[in-house]
Amino acid sequence: MTPQLRRIVSDSQLSPPQNQTKISFQDFSASKTICSLNITQELPKAETIDHLKANLRFIQQRVNAAPQTVTQPPTITLTTASVPTTIPPPAAIAMATITPLPSFYGDYEKEGEPTDWFRQYRLSLPSTFSDQDKINRFELQCTAGSMAEVWVQNLPSASKATWATFTLVFTARWPPPVHVTLMLAQQKDRIKTITLKEEDIGRMIEKDRGREWGHVKWAKEIERTAQGFGDSRCLLLDVILEGTPAILRDLLTEQYASWPDFVTDVSRLSSSQLQRAKQQLETEKKLREDVDRLQAQASGQKKTPTPTPQPATQATTMPWS
């Protein structure tokens, strides 16, 4: 509404007509159009002003009385079933996530060494486990009706009071294996059993983790065994070379500073080197056989047959002569 029209309406104190009870949106649009007219050129008539004023006041009343729509955020209703009433303890969560080990029998047959199994069990335990959780899970790991289950069920309460105490009684029941130190002669006898066949030299052998040359596989096994004896300076090398086929022995040295050097020297030999060594040995072997045969023939020709001695004949004297 322009300032001039607003001043005219305020000066006039007229009420809406009696017969005007409802106004449409078309009238409202028309009134807005009228309000936007420029009235500076000619003032409207009194009747027009009264009618316009009545319409504006009625529209204002309707606008004030209209309810306002307010958009409310969606209401989220939480039920008791969707919210957990209790939070599980950390030990229960950890027990549901760790992977069980193979069952424990305790008879030295099914799982091998009990000490190794117990170490694996201790490594699998979460840090959130209490002492009682560790002991309870150990009992679950025992095979039903096995020697281990009977043992843990018959333990007194004092032996299961703490995890440290339980570890001590387990070690007393299944003591760790004792390392036996072999004498030098025993070590030599043991390492002599690791033999290398001549046909495995320069031949590729299938393994669980791939393929490997037969002579390299043999050298690595020698290294592991010798180091297991505590020999780090190749003190058993002379025994090994005694039983090594000549094809490989002639390509190796007689001294090594360490067993890794020995394995490296064996591994560096190419198949062509080994093949040439085989051919050379076969040639030498054939020459020796030929020489032995010729020597045998020569010895046979020089020998003369020894005459067979004839018995001496004696003259028999007749009694009548």
Phi, psi of 312 (to 5 degrees): -70, 135
Encode 17-51: b = buried (16+ Cβ within 10 Å), e = exposed: eeeeeebeeeebeebeebbeeeeeeeeeeeeebbb
Whether residues 52 and 100 share a domain: the answer is no
316 part of a folded domain: no
Q: Tokens 């009385």 — which residue?
A: 65
**For residues 236 and 226, what is the distance between their CA atoms, to the nearest angstrom?**
7
- Nearest-angstrom CA–CA distance, 126 and 91: 8
**What type of residue is 106?**
G
- Residues 197 and 243 occupy one common structural domain: yes
Q: Residue 60: exposed, middle, or buried by beta-carbon count in 10 A (0-12, 13-18, 19+)?
A: exposed
Q: 110: burial class by Cβ within 10 Å (0-12, 13-18, 19+)? A: middle
Please check whether residue 205 is in contact with residue 211, taking contact to mean a CB–CB distance below 8 angstroms. yes
**Residue 163 domain boundaries:** 90-173
- Choosing from 255, 273, 291, the residue where a domain stops is 273
What is the predicted pLDDT for the residue at 40?
47
**Residue 285 lies inside a defined structural domain of this protein:** no
Please give the pLDDT value at position 303.
Answer: 59
In a domain, 259, yes or no: yes
Q: 3-class secondary structure for 25-50?
A: HHHHHHHHHHHCCCCCCCCCCHHHHH
pLDDT value at position 126? 94
Cα distances from 221 to residues 124, 179, 301, in angstroms, run: 31, 20, 53
- Does residue 209 form part of some domain? yes
Helix, strand, coil percent content, the chain, rounded in steps of 5: 55, 5, 45
Distance CA 107, CA 37 (A): 109
In a domain, residue 71? The reply is: no
**CA dist., res. 247 & res. 199, Å (int):** 10
CA distance 281 to 156: 72
Rounded-to-integer distance, Cα 161 and Cα 178, Å: 29
Rounded Cα gap, residues 64 and 30, in angstroms: 20
Q: Is residue 232 part of a domain?
A: yes
Q: What is the pLDDT along the chain (321 residues), one digit of tens a residue?
A: 555 556 655 555 444 455 544 545 455 455 555 445 444 445 556 777 887 888 788 787 776 766 655 556 666 655 555 545 566 555 555 555 678 889 999 887 765 789 999 999 999 999 999 999 999 999 999 999 999 999 999 999 999 999 999 999 999 999 998 877 888 899 999 999 999 998 888 888 887 667 889 999 999 999 999 999 999 889 999 999 999 998 899 899 999 999 999 999 999 998 888 888 888 878 888 888 888 888 888 887 665 555 555 555 554 444 444
Number of structural domains found in the chain:
3
Q: Is residue 288 part of a domain?
A: no
207 beta partners: 210
What is the structure's pLDDT at 135?
96
If asked whether residues 22 and 102 sit together in one domain, one would say: no
The pTM score is 0.44
Helix H or strand E encompassing 210: strand 210-213
**In the block, residue with structure tokens 């078309």:** 26
User: H/E element holding 62?
Assistant: helix 46-65
Residue finishing a domain among 48, 64, 80 = 64
Quote the CA–CA distance of 163 and 171 in Å, as a whole number.
12
Q: Collapsing DSSP states into helix, strand and coil, what is residue 149? A: helix
